[in-house]
Amino acid sequence: MDTKIVLSVVFLPILPFYQLYKYMEITALIFASLKKKTMRFLILFCLFTLTIIARAQYPSSASKTFISEEVEVKAPQGHVLSGTLTLPTGKGPFACAVMITGSGPQNRDEEILGHKPFEAIAHHLAEKGIAVLRCDDRGVAKSTGDHESASSKDFADDILTQISFLQKEKKKKIRANGIGLIGHSEGGLIAAMVGARQSDLAFIVSLAGPGVNGRDILYKQNYDVTRAEGLSADEAAKNRDNVMKMLDIVIQNQSAEAEKKLHLLLDSLYSNAAIPQFEEFKKAQIESMNTDWMRYFLTYDPAKDWEKVSCPVLALNGEKDLQVDAKINLNAIAAALEKGNNYQYQTIVFPGMNHLFQSCKTCTISEYGQLEESISPLVLTEISDYLVKFAHAAK
């Protein structure tokens, strides 16, 4: 009988395709050894398929109903955010949505496994008469700056800088009272941060955005992901509990002390598991979670900022989202908005859709790269129908 040993790797709300490479070597070593051993090792980062199929992005960038303009946004901190401003054809100024990516280093299209959902959203909205600004994260692609040391709060500062850029540098093309936010995953959380500080936003669209703190997100996420990938309830619960022990060390200790305690914990949990390249495995585990970003994400409560958001909010989730649970987070966002006396909100759960708002079949994380759809046309239509009224109201 095989012995199943589950390795505790935190699965973040969004893991970009290119971020997987640093885990590939150790993964290959472990799985190569499985052919000779009777143990089965599960690494959550390996649940992604690396298969990339041809995508039919919607609509084509060759469309004659909008134009794309390359821009550079200079941040007060000294870095430069490189992006694309997508503008409808016709006479402006236009309402504009500023896109906010999910966690991890993301380019302006929030590209993952061959999908470019932010490009699809930008082109769709531009065809409907709404401008879109989307930038590479700081330190990613054409943007300068340091991504690794930044927290969600730092990324919120970058969004505020982009809003200021539109209001000052693009005021002939963009209406100052028509600027809003569209944030996916951690980007929804960042939208709440910005909305709490920027009272003149026209709207916020949260796409699978958190309404509870990061620890609660990962507690639910870890169990759901491993169950969907085939673990028994007991195995998934044990794995989740091990992950929580590791995350609590990160919460309670600063970096150097946390590293020492994580080494001791991993030794106690897995030193007898005959894991190939065990020291490299530990290093990958610790590096994935013992960061300033993670420490901030685990303890930050977005509900406190959602309470301060005064603009209209559209909060969407996929029913089959294993990463940001629809019921828990939409209910938390709604409750926080109402606590702040903001009743200008709408929440929608899309049946049969995953965290990327793809119409899914197995709805596992490993299916993301196997699906041709980058984002459901139903979701695109829901967003554009919601935003068109703000585009007109902003005139």
Exposure of 29 by Cβ count < 10 A (0-12 exposed, 13-18 middle, 19+ buried)?
Answer: middle
Q: Answer yes or no: is pLDDT of 263 > 60.
A: yes
Q: Answer yes or no: is pLDDT of 129 > 70.
A: yes
Q: Can you give the pLDDT at residue 273?
A: 73
Q: Can you give the pLDDT at residue 359?
A: 97
Using an 8 Å Cβ cutoff, are 211 and 302 in contact? yes
Exposure of 268 by Cβ count < 10 A (0-12 exposed, 13-18 middle, 19+ buried)?
Answer: exposed
**In the chain, domain spans:** 3-47+214-297, 66-213+300-393
Per-residue buried b or exposed e for 62-97, using 16+ beta carbons within 10 Å of the residue's own CB: eeeebebeebebebeeebbbbbbbbbbeeebbbbbb
CA torsion angle for 277, 232, 16, 106 (degrees, to 10)?
A: -120
Q: Can you give the pLDDT at residue 106?
A: 95
Q: Can you give the pLDDT at residue 281?
A: 85
Work out the number of other CB atoms within 10 angstroms of the CB of residue 200: 11
Q: Answer yes or no: is pLDDT of 128 > 80.
A: yes
Element (H, E) at 168: helix 152-169
User: Can you tell me the mean pLDDT for 215-222?
Assistant: 96
pLDDT tens, position by position, 266-309: 999 887 777 888 898 889 889 989 999 999 999 999 999 999 99
Query: What is the architecture of the domain spanning 66-213+300-393?
Result: 3-Layer(aba) Sandwich (3.40)
Rounded Cα distance between 178 and 133, Å, is 13
pTM over 0.85, yes/no? yes
Extract the tokens encoding 351.
């049946």
Q: Can you give the pLDDT at residue 393?
A: 64
Q: Characterize the bridge pairing of strands 66-74 and 80-88.
A: antiparallel
The DSSP line for 326-355 is HHHHHHHHHHHHHHTT---EEEEEETTB-T
